[in-house]
Chains A and B, each alone.
Chain A
Amino acid sequence: MKSVRKLMRRSGLYSLVGGFALFGAFPFYWMLIATFKRDHDLFRPENNPFLFNEPATLDHLRLLLFDTHFLQYLLNSFLVGLAVVIITLLAAVPAAYSLARWARGWGETLGIGIFLTYLVPPTILFIPLSRFASGLGLQESLWSLILIYPTFTIPFCTWLLMGFFKTIPKDIEEQAMIDGLSRLGAMTRVVLPLGISGILTVVVFAFTLSMHEFIYALTFISVSAKKTVSIGVPTELVRGDVFQWGPLMAGALLASLPVAVVYTFFLDRFISGFTMGAVK
């Protein structure tokens, strides 16, 4: 009797988790299957949409890779991400260290203040920033994105890093200073190497956040070859009213999966940093 109940509870657990896993992953399966389906198979309402009714094809991938700017979009996203990561680290690492070590009174408020700017949405900022960009002659330039994306990566990453730095015992750097290193020396030679996992997490997040960004890129970039992958795929693979679903899905899948895999590895660190910042 007891084992039957246990079995039922197990299968309940599996179907619950399985259901949610299906919900989360189904759109990606849907992209995968459209990527390799022939148009003739894809566009027949009576065909079973979940399976291949005709042999698979590489036509959509070929079109995506060789007849569109898709690879250029990927490159653009990569370049923007890289530059944003560098700017973010330069600003967030010292700020987070400073807040984690010396924050009392004003520092604490400042730390929370920086974090709260993360809540000021692009919706309010994109109109004035579009004037900024055109004033600086940066419209249609990736530089405008490089300049603007740190507005959300710096606050967020400062907050994350603050949590990570707080976990490094103060005694370690005090020891280093007694051994003759300066404050700055203790930070760069002792604390940073210990905080490397936190810094790596921030690199991943600054990069993926900038790769995910949509609305600024949509506002500032309209020349096809300058687009990032996040706006290039949804806007350029639709010719007039015609959605080229095969290549569109192929593009969405190819750009999503690598990011998803990398991101997943860092999710735990992200969340511990996130909650640590919030708790202490």
Chain B
Amino acid sequence: MKPNPSTIVCLLIAFASLGLSGCANVGVKPWEREVLAREDMQPDTNRMDTAFDDHIYFSKEGSSGGRGFGGGGCGCN
């Protein structure tokens, strides 16, 4: 990844105001998603590990959660 200023600005805008049009130039073309479609690039890889870990750390530490879901992948349909 080459973090360029427009990427950083886009992310800050998106996060601060969910102004998603700021991210219009960041990303890949629909036919360029071969790596993102791989199983090991999905947000829910290691799903079972995460579930077990969340339960352990919730019982043993003071704060928990907040990981979220969705996005990435092949971008199909």
Q: Do A and B bind each other?
A: no
